[in-house]
């Protein structure tokens, strides 16, 4: 009992002296170490969390896992055609142009068609099928189902109206001849041309297009001055070209 009392007295004396401060220092030290380890452990966790989160930012998820990546982003760039596609497109454009330029009787109204004289020059022999005309060159009287227009050899001959070349041939009397079909059953005939015209059968021509040149290929008119023999027919019947061409 006496020993217990002496121990208690020693403890009281210890805390009453420097012992109190020693114990207080140890408590503060323990609290400080605990706080240090606590903060050090949480800091590693936070750093690991940041590193892990930043790593996920660089990961590209497949389309089936990332809904935002399922639809490819829109682009304003126009598709680029390869050489084959460009060639096909060019051919289609050319075909469309040819189709527009092509002439057919259904596309043109005969009443609104524009006619011109196939060349400039004096009329040597006018059109006449109901009365005989005296031919000074041949020295006789005869009808004439066309108009002879005087011109120098090689003078360009123009299409009187748009149409399609129906025939290119050599006539026994008229020499080199070109026949062009127009709207409404009209046809224009160009005879005594140079041997090689500039058009072929089936060609589509427009008003004023060169179809040949004045020649001297008509055997029956060799004694006449160089000229173009120009005729027109309607449904196969001869008509006066002056009824369709501008006044001279």
One DSSP character per residue, 202-226 reads T-EE-TT-EEEEB----GGGTTSPS
3-state secondary structure 91-127: HHHHHHHHHHHCCCHHHCCCCCCCCCCCCCCCEEECC
State how far the alpha carbon of 229 is from the alpha carbons of 67, 172, 192, 214, 243, in Å. 82, 14, 6, 9, 17
35: left (phi over 0), alpha (psi -120 to 50) or beta: alpha
pLDDT of residue 157: 98
CA dist 23 and 188 (Å) reads: 134
**Per-residue pLDDT tens over the stretch 113-159:** 789 999 999 988 889 888 777 666 666 667 788 999 999 999 999 99
Mean pLDDT of all residues in 76-100: 54
Of residues 76 and 38, more confidently modeled: 38
Q: Burial of 134 by CB count in 10 Å (0-12 exposed, 13-18 middle, 19+ buried)?
A: exposed
Q: Mean pLDDT in the chain?
A: 75
At residue 233, does pLDDT exceed 90? yes
Q: Which residues pair with 177 in a beta bridge?
A: 169
Taking domain 123-243, whether its CATH number is 3.40.50.10610 is answered by no
What's the pLDDT tens digit per position in 158-173?
999 999 999 999 998 8
Supply the pLDDT for residue 59.
Answer: 46
**pLDDT above 90 for 185:** yes
For residues 5-9, average pLDDT:
63
Q: At a CB cut-off of 8 Å and minimum separation 6, what does 108 contact?
A: 162, 182, 183
Model confidence band, residue 237 (pLDDT cutoffs 50, 70, 90):
very high
Where does the pLDDT of residue 213 fall: very low under 50, low under 70, confident under 90, or very high at 90 and above?
very high
Q: How far apart are CA 65 and CA 178, in angstroms?
A: 77
The count of other CB atoms within 10 Å of the CB of residue 123 is 15
- pLDDT for 51 beyond 50: no
Q: How far is CA 92 from CA 96, 107, 245, in A?
A: 6, 21, 37
How confident is the model at residue 55, as a pLDDT? Answer: 44
Distance (Å, rounded) from C-alpha 180 to C-alpha 189?
Answer: 7
Q: What is the pLDDT of residue 56?
A: 43
- Classify residue 211 by burial, with Cβ atoms within 10 Å: 0-12, 13-18, 19+: buried
Q: Inform me whether the pLDDT recorded for 2 exceeds 50.
A: yes
The residue-averaged pLDDT of 27-55 equals: 59
Q: Which residue has the higher pLDDT, 167 or 87?
A: 167
* Nearest of 216, 222, 240 to residue 230 by alpha carbon: 240
């Amino acid at each position: 009992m006496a020993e217990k009392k002496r121990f208690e007295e020693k403890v009281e004396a210890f805390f009453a002296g420097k012992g109190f401060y020693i114990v207080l220092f140890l408590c503060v030290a323990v609290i400080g170490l605990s706080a240090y380890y606590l903060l050090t452990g949480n800091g590693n966790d936070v750093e690991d969390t940041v590193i892990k989160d930043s790593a996920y930012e660089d990961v590209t998820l497949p389309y089936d896992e990332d809904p935002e990546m399922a639809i490819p982003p829109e682009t304003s760039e126009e598709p680029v055609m390869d050489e084959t596609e460009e060639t096909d497109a060019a051919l289609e454009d050319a075909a469309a142009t040819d189709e527009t330029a092509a002439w057919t009787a259904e596309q043109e109204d005969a009443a609104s068609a524009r006619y011109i004289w196939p060349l400039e020059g004096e009329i040597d022999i006018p059109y006449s099928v109901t009365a005989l005309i005296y031919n000074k060159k041949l020295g006789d009287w005869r009808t004439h189902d066309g108009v002879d227009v005087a011109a120098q050899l090689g003078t360009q001959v123009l299409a009187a109206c748009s149409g399609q070349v129906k025939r290119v041939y050599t006539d026994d009397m008229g020499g080199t001849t070109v026949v062009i079909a127009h709207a409404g059953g009209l046809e224009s005939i160009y005879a005594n041309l140079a041997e090689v015209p500039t058009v072929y059968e089936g060609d589509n021509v427009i008003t004023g297009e060169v179809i040949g040149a004045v020649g001297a290929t008509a055997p029956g008119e060799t004694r006449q001055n160089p000229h173009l023999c120009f005729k027109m027919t309607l449904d196969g019947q001869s008509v006066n070209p002056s009824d369709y061409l501008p006044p001279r």
